[in-house]
C-alpha cells in the first residue's frame, strides 16, 4: 500500500508542477498592463554571461501600463535596451540615461483574440501534460497488480482516485484559463 501512496504523491506533485508552469507562462503574457514578469525570459549579455534583467536592475511598475527598469550598473543600460528591442515584447524602450521606461499600449481587439488563442493552446498543453501524468500513474498501478502487490479491487479504486485527481487538476487549468481570458478581454 505504501507504493500505491507513492504513486499518488508523485502524480499529484507532477500535476501541481504543471499548473505552476502554466501560471508562469500566463504571467509572461502581456494583458495590457505592466507586469515585471514580462521581462523574466529576456536576458542581457553582461560581461559575457546571459543574465536576466531582474538580476541587473530594479524593475518596478510606476503606472498601470509603465514599467521602469533602473539598472544598478548604468553601463548595462544599452544592453538592456537592445535586449528588449530584440525580444518580441512589442514595446519600444525609452532610455533617459539612468532609467528605461517601457510604456505598454492598450491592446486592440485583434491582438486580444490572438492572445486568447495563445492562452487556450497553453491550457490545452497543460491538460495533455496532466493526462500524461495520469497515464503514467495508471501504468504503474497496473504493473503493481501484475506483480501481485495490489488486488484487482485495489487497482479499480486506485484508478478511480487517479481519475478524480486528474479531474481536479483539469478544473484548475480551466479556472486559470478563464481568469487569464477575463483579464485579457476586459482591458
Look at residue 3 and tell me whether its pLDDT is greater than 90. no
Q: How many residues does the structure list for the chain?
A: 187
Query: What's the number of CA atoms in the CB half-sphere (13 Å) around residue 63?
Result: 7
With cell 501524468, the residue in question is: 133
Domain-terminating residue out of 74, 103, 132: 103
Query: If 0-12 CB within 10 Å is exposed, 13-18 middle and 19+ buried, where does residue 125 land?
Result: middle
> Tens of pLDDT along 11-66?
999 999 999 999 888 877 766 667 787 788 888 888 888 888 888 888 888 887 88
In our burial notation (b when 16+ CB lie closer than 10 A, e otherwise), range 14-32 reads bbeebbeebeebbeebbbb
pLDDT at site 155: 86
For the residues 71-90, what does the mean pLDDT come to?
Answer: 84
What's residue 1's pLDDT?
64
Q: Which CATH number is 48's domain given?
A: 3.30.1360.40
If one compares 152 and 132, the residue with the highest pLDDT of the two is: 132
Same domain, 122 and 143: yes
Residues 99 and 155 in one domain: no
Note the pLDDT of residue 170.
95
| Whether residue 187 has pLDDT greater than 60 | no
In this structure, are residues 36 and 61 in contact, taking their beta carbons and an 8 Å threshold? yes
Beta bridge partners of 50: 45
Q: pTM for this one? A: 0.71
Contact 54, 72 (CB under 8 A): no
Structural domain that includes position 79:
36-103
Final residue before a domain boundary, out of 103, 133, 153: 103
Can you read off the three cell numbers belonging to residue 100? 528605461
Per residue in 98-148, pLDDT tens?
898 988 777 778 878 888 888 999 999 999 999 999 999 999 988 988 888
Q: DSSP secondary-structure letter at 156?
A: H
In this structure, the answer to whether residues 112 and 182 fall within a common structural domain is yes
Let me know whether 122 and 170 are in one domain: yes
pLDDT (0 to 100) of residue 178: 92
Which whole number is the average pLDDT over 155-181? 92
What pLDDT is stored for residue 30 in this prediction?
65
- Domain termination residue (choose one: 78, 103, 128): 103
Amino acid at each position: 500500500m505504501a507504493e500505491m501512496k507513492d504513486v499518488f504523491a508523485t502524480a499529484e506533485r507532477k500535476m501541481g508542477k504543471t499548473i505552476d508552469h502554466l501560471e508562469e507562462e500566463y504571467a509572461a503574457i502581456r494583458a495590457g498592463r505592466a507586469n515585471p514578469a514580462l521581462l523574466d525570459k529576456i536576458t542581457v549579455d553582461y560581461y559575457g554571461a546571459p543574465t536576466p534583467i531582474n538580476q541587473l536592475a530594479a524593475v518596478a511598475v510606476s503606472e498601470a501600463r509603465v514599467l521602469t527598469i533602473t539598472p544598478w550598473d548604468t553601463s548595462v543600460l544599452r544592453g538592456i535596451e537592445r535586449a528588449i528591442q530584440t525580444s518580441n515584447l512589442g514595446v519600444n524602450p525609452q532610455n533617459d540615461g539612468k532609467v528605461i521606461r517601457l510604456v505598454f499600449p492598450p491592446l486592440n481587439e485583434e491582438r486580444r483574440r490572438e492572445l486568447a488563442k495563445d492562452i487556450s493552446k497553453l491550457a490545452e498543453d497543460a491538460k495533455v501534460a496532466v493526462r500524461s501524468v495520469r497515464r503514467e500513474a495508471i501504468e504503474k498501478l497496473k504493473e503493481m497488480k501484475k506483480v501481485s502487490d495490489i488486488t484487482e479491487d485495489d487497482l479499480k479504486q486506485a484508478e478511480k482516485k487517479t481519475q478524480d485527481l486528474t479531474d481536479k487538476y483539469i478544473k484548475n487549468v480551466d479556472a486559470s484559463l478563464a481568469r487569464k481570458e477575463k483579464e485579457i478581454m476586459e482591458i
